Amino acid sequence: MIKVRKEVRPEFKYDLELIGPPEKPVFFDIETTGLSSKNSSLYLIGVLFFDEGSWIFEQYFAEDPLEEPLLLDAFFELLGKKRRLYGSTILIHYNGDMFDIPFLKSCISGYRLPHDFSKVISLDIFRKVKPLKAFLGLENCKLKTVERFLGEDREDEYNGGELIEVYLRYLKLGRDKGQELLRLLLLHNEEDILNMPSVLSILAYDDLFSAKHRLISSDIVDLSKLGLSKGGHVLDLNYSLTSTLPVPLYFSFGSFNLGLSEKKLNITADMREGELKYFFDNYKEYYYLPFEDYAVHRSLGEFVDKKARVKACAKNCYMKKEGLFFPQPSEILKPGFYEEYKGKDIYALYENDPFSDPSFASEYAHEVLKLAASSMKAKD
């Protein structure tokens, strides 16, 4: 077995503390001669971890398929050390939940080795990326696609499948004659792992949908005062984010425009001025008053002349309100107002500055982000 060990300085564009103490994570990736451990073998494991104040990169390479157990022993020795020192460890990988970890488990079982993944927390970056594919405008969720999105370059031009033949040729030539092949095999694995700390910054987009966003400014812009012929009012909201976004994103959907850059979120929304309707759910308990054009509860409607009332139906069981309204991605603030029955746009009356409530402001941002994600998914 060939063991490579060197001190490195990986570039982290995501706050590792949001995952855990830097001593706990172990970035890893494996290379195999096929997809199934039953008819293929493990020939390379690469790891990146923090040890005694430095980041260490190690690779365990099998010069012969019979050395497969040695790779497993070396890898689990590292995990065991982490678990003894810190109680648990965090494995960070790309699609390892579907391939790398099951492959290693199968190898362990096949060789009846005393290794396991107890007290190991798995963080699969692929699983974080997959739900964001449409939101980020990704063609697919392959690692190299994500790297291109983030602007990460790599020297290696091969993929894991293409390197299988390279490894088989290396086995025939041996170490002395196969040095260039060995370099290619190690390079692919090395770049997969050393790029992973940078790829970790993709988690900042996942944080958008869970972290609390602090509103830093809220304004109502009168477009007529800006000399715009369109007129009307626009709600302008600016938030600070907990994580730094590596690539800016811009969306326009329905009444909303959304801009994301670094640690800022901007939401602008077209407001409505005039009269909108609030529809009651339990229309059977209401009367509709045609002359007044609104509904009243039966307890009040009983005192109205029978000629001036009719039983309400879902379409006319409403009350009307005049004022300035802002769009809602969902009915966060009740009551929700509509232009017509089952209208697609839902509004809330803007009064007493609802965005002065930090909880409401944060929830509003989350719901707008969710609406943006579903809008992009519908277009995908």
The CATH number for 150's domain is: 3.30.420.10
Examine the fold and report which residue of 190, 206, 222 is the final residue of a domain before the chain moves on.
206
Q: Do 196 and 247 fall within a single domain? A: no
Q: Do 231 and 87 fall within a single domain? A: no
Q: Do 87 and 231 fall within a single domain? A: no
288 found inside a domain: no
129 found inside a domain: yes
Q: Do 225 and 196 fall within a single domain? A: no
Q: Do 37 and 22 fall within a single domain? A: yes
Q: Do 124 and 197 fall within a single domain? A: yes
Nearest Cα neighbor of 193 from 156, 140, 245 is 156
pLDDT digits (tens, 9 = 90+) for 173-208: 888 888 999 999 999 899 889 989 999 999 999 999
Examine the fold and report which residue of 180, 206, 232 is the final residue of a domain before the chain moves on.
206
Q: Do 77 and 226 fall within a single domain? A: no
146 found inside a domain: yes
pLDDT digits (tens, 9 = 90+) for 316-334: 999 999 999 999 999 999 9
Q: For residue 228, is pLDDT > 70?
A: no
CA 142 to chain centre: 15
- Per-residue model confidence (pLDDT) at position 37: 79
Could you give the CA distance from residue 208 to residue 177 in angstroms, rounded to a whole number?
51
Q: Do 194 and 329 fall within a single domain? A: no
- Per-residue model confidence (pLDDT) at position 154: 67
Q: Do 236 and 364 fall within a single domain? A: yes
Number of domains into which the chain is organized = 2
Torsion, Cα 69 75 81 86, to 10 degrees, reads: -140
Q: 64 to each of 30, 45, 60, 167, 187, how far by Cα in Å?
A: 16, 14, 12, 10, 19
Examine the fold and report which residue of 183, 206, 229 is the final residue of a domain before the chain moves on.
206
Q: For residue 229, is pLDDT > 80?
A: no
Q: Do 133 and 274 fall within a single domain? A: no
Residue 218: Cβ-neighbour burial (10 angstroms; 0-12, 13-18, 19+): middle
Q: Do 201 and 224 fall within a single domain? A: no
Q: What pTM did the predictor assign?
A: 0.87
Could you give the CA distance from residue 19 to residue 334 in angstroms, rounded to a whole number?
36
pLDDT digits (tens, 9 = 90+) for 50-84: 998 999 999 999 999 999 999 999 999 999 999 99
Q: Do 146 and 262 fall within a single domain? A: no
Tallying the residues shown for the chain, one arrives at 380
301 found inside a domain: no
Q: pLDDT band at residue 157, thresholds of 50, 70 and 90?
A: low
250 found inside a domain: yes
271 found inside a domain: yes
166 found inside a domain: yes
Domain that holds residue 91: 2-206
Q: Are 47 and 78 in contact (CB under 8 A)?
A: yes
131 found inside a domain: yes
